[in-house]
Amino acid sequence: MAKIRIGTRGSKLALWQAYYIESLLKEKGHETEIVTIETKGDKILDRALSKVGGKGVFTEELEEQLTNKKIDIAVHSAKDLQSDLGPDFKIIAFTERELVHDVIVSYDKNCLKKESPVLGTSSVRRTAMVKHYLPNCQTVNMRGNLQTRLKKLKEGQCDALILAYAGVHRMEYNNLIVQELNTEEFTPPVGQGSVAIEVSTGIEPGLEGKIREAVNHKASEYCLLAERAFLKKLEGGCSIPAFGNAVLSNNSITLTGGIISPDGTQLVKKEIKGDLTNAETLGTSLAITVLENGGREILEELKVN
């Protein structure tokens, strides 16, 4: 059987994800090859993601390689994938999820005791939530991979960074965590903590089945399907300060999701519970509830601005 060519971005965290997928495939006896691809999102670091083009800036070049059959699969952080991949691409597997919460990291353990700490982030959601829940803090736009951001932190461009625990843990920077943010307030973005496998819809069915068997974690998949259906109904991308987190208990899903205005003043958050086999229906239903309870107005305001 031919090697499974794994397409990935070149950052240390992206490569960690690619090697992780490679290890899962090798456990099932598959030969692999890792192909590193630079994306627009890796090149343009002086602007906020929402100004560059949203989540697609991390996936466009990888999708080109899928279309051209230069790679067989593309490995992404699930949170970086657009909610609608269009007719030519699909996700066929999600890995077992890491803890989903955000953390504040710094080289200064007392940074949050300052009168007005400056937190670095490139996320419109995190920026808005800081304004809502941590009004004594300021935020500054901080783009780049994890190592680039930590370098900027060390240079004094901010007092601390807000990051996903998953990436901090995978890169072994747990010692820099000064505060763990609870998901009840700082609800994470859709998909945080899981690695997703994207393919061309023309993938050979037998190969798709083998990849799913090696990589997919069913419990995590139910949660991700619910969250992604929620975001899709909102028509949300990276520039939308939406959030969603599904938790599995026995055969039931509890999905919490909502949207916050960029200035942090308006927050719409709702919850829905249901059977895991209705994961996507639950996500869509929650989105409708959010839209009907103030979410639509926040989205309209975002389009104006």
Phi, psi for 54 (deg, rounded to 5): 70, -155
> What H or E segment, with its residue span, contains residue 38?
none
User: Mean pLDDT throughout 152-169?
Assistant: 97
The yes-or-no answer on residue 80 being catalytic is: yes
Q: How does pLDDT run across 235-290, given as a tens digit for each residue? A: 865 568 999 999 999 999 999 999 999 999 999 999 999 999 999 999 999 999 99
Q: Are 95 and 212 in contact (CB under 8 A)?
A: no
217-305 CATH:
3.30.160.40
What pLDDT was estimated at residue 53?
46
Q: What is the pTM of this model?
A: 0.91
Q: How confident is the model at residue 38, as a pLDDT? A: 79
| Shared fold status for 102-180 and 217-305 | no
pLDDT in tens, 2-59: 899 999 999 999 999 999 999 999 999 999 999 999 765 555 445 554 444 444 566 7
- Which amino acid would we find at residue 273? K
Q: Which fold has domain 1-95+194-216?
A: D-Maltodextrin-Binding Protein; domain 2 (3.40.190)
Task: Please tell me the class of the 102-180 domain.
Answer: alpha beta
Order of strands, sheet of 195-200, starting from the edge strand that comes earlier in the sequence: 32-36, 4-8, 73-77, 195-200, 89-94
pLDDT, tens digit (0-9, with 9 covering 90-100), for 179-221:
999 999 999 999 999 999 999 999 999 999 999 999 999 999 9
Domain boundaries, the chain: 1-95+194-216, 102-180, 217-305
Q: Is 108 helix (H, G, I), strand (E, B) or coil?
A: coil
| Catalytic residue from among 42, 80, 102, 159 | 80
pLDDT tops 90 at residue 1: no
pLDDT above 90 (res 304): no
Could you identify the residue written with the tokens 């627009």?
40
The Cα–Cα gap between 53 and 170 comes to 27
